[in-house]
């Protein structure tokens, strides 16, 4: 089974062109149907979550462990055929055996979860800190749960209040809809000081970056996981004056096992985020559902 995300939509619509024809899809779990010669990490029949990126393994970045930054990285479903198909072919090092007793459905969001596990680690969150998540989509609702697990109190900031009930169910201590007053005032009220200690930005728009910088306190940390493609205005005077640390966080390095552990332990709940299911033969409807405001994660059963 596969999850559908904004990247897939962009490839499908043509907004994010790739070398067509291409089978998109990069968030998936499944069982191993066949292995090549010399494969030792997995066996036929194993249940695995797939890490859909692999690096060259030879460049200085790879050798120092920064394989997510490798300039020759291959992204499954973007550079090579992906998972909106009955079968997909990936290197064995991309396959992470599923913990026993955990349903594939629960593991379906391992890929986006690994993204936020890394982002929260980059923020070096300490227990008792105040935090804000910008964005109420899949990444935001996962980041909220990981922050909580690290002992932080979480304010969820989103353009719409549609997801706030679910956010609270998943542990958000407070919510703020953009437009209902200044986000900075909301962060001050929530933290009881000049702003929150940590902000995780997940929306990937220039507006979200602006909000992240407005939410954080002087001396605080902002981690950006979204990829705004438009030029993004940042008032660097205020970054310097307030000694704000801004860090980028790009996909994941070694976070897949951690992400699966969080799901297996029940610490992160993924099922409430999957709002739609379609068969592979209804993939067009799945893409249409992704555009509906009420959908969070649209999933596809490929077999």
Which residues of the shown chain bind Zn ion in the complex (CB under 5 A)?
5, 55-56, 59, 62, 70
* 3-class DSSP string for 81-137: CCCCCCCCCCCHHHEEECCCCCCHHHHCCHHHHHHHHHHHHHCCCCCCCEEEEECCC
Q: Residue 102 CA to chain centroid, in angstroms?
A: 20
CB closer to Zn ion out of 5 and 260: 5
Question: 64 vs 294, which CB is nearer to Zn ion?
Answer: 64
Closer residue to Zn ion (CB): 54 or 190: 54
Smallest gap, in angstroms, from Cβ of residue 246 to Zn ion?
23
The residue length of the chain stands at 303
Rounded distance between C-alpha atoms, residue 104 and residue 38, angstroms: 26
Beta-carbon contacts of residue 281 (< 8 Å; ≥ 6 apart): none
CB 51 within 8 A of CB 76: no
7 versus 148: smaller Cβ distance to Zn ion: 7
- Inter-residue contact 106 to 263 (CB < 8 Å): yes
| Minimal distance, residue 200 CB to Zn ion, in Å | 17
As measured in angstroms, the least distance from the Cβ of 172 to Zn ion is: 23
Residue with tokens 């300039």: 71
Smallest distance, Zn ion to C-beta of residue 110, A: 11
For residues 203 and 139, give the distance between their C-alpha atoms in angstroms, rounded to a whole number: 8
Q: Is the Cα torsion angle 135, 138, 139, 144 positive or negative in sign? A: positive
| Burial class of residue 245 in the structure, from the number of CB atoms within 10 Å of its CB (0-12 exposed, 13-18 middle, 19+ buried) | middle
Rounded-to-integer distance, Cα 148 and Cα 303, Å: 35
Q: Please, what is the minimum distance in Å from the beta carbon of residue 113 to Zn ion?
A: 11
Nearest residue (CB) to Zn ion, 7 versus 191: 7
Q: CB of 55: closest distance to Zn ion in angstroms?
A: 4
Q: How far apart are CA 210 and CA 231, in angstroms?
A: 12
Q: Which is nearer to Zn ion, 196 or 262 (CB)?
A: 262
Residue among 56 and 239 whose Cβ is closer to Zn ion: 56
State residue 40 phi and psi, 5-degree precision: -120, -20
* Minimum separation from the CB atom of position 69 to Zn ion (A): 8
CB of 128 to Zn ion, least distance (A): 32
Q: Which is nearer to Zn ion, 48 or 70 (CB)?
A: 70
């Amino acid at each position: 089974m596969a999850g559908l995300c904004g990247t897939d939509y962009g490839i499908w619509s043509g907004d994010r062109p790739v070398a067509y024809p291409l089978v998109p899809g990069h968030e998936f779990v499944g069982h191993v149907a066949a292995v090549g010669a010399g494969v030792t990490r997995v066996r036929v029949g194993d249940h695995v979550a797939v890490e859909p990126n692999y690096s060259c393994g030879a460049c200085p970045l790879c050798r120092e462990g920064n394989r997510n930054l490798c300039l020759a990285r291959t992204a499954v479903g973007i550079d090579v055929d992906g998972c909106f198909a009955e079968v997909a072919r990936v290197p064995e090092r991309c396959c992470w055996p599923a913990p026993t007793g955990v349903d594939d459905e629960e593991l379906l969001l391992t890929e986006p979860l690994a993204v936020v596990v890394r982002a929260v680690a980059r923020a070096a969150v300490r227990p008792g800190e105040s935090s804000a998540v910008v964005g109420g989509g899949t990444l935001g609702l996962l980041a909220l749960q990981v922050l909580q697990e690290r002992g932080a109190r979480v304010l969820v900031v989103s353009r719409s209040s549609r997801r706030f009930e679910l956010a609270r169910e998943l542990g958000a201590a407070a919510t703020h809809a953009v437009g209902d007053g200044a986000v900075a005032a909301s962060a001050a009220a929530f933290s009881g000081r000049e702003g929150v200690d940590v902000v995780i930005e997940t929306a990937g728009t220039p507006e979200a970056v602006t909000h992240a910088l407005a939410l954080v306190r002087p001396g605080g940390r902002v981690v950006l996981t979204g990829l705004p493609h438009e030029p993004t205005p940042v008032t660097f005077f205020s970054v310097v004056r307030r000694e704000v640390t801004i860090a980028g966080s790009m996909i994941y390095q070694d976070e897949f096992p951690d992400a699966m552990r969080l799901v297996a332990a029940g610490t992160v709940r993924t099922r409430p985020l999957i709002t739609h299911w379609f068969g592979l033969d209804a993939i067009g409807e799945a893409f249409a559902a992704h555009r509906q405001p009420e959908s969070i994660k649209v999933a596809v059963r490929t077999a």
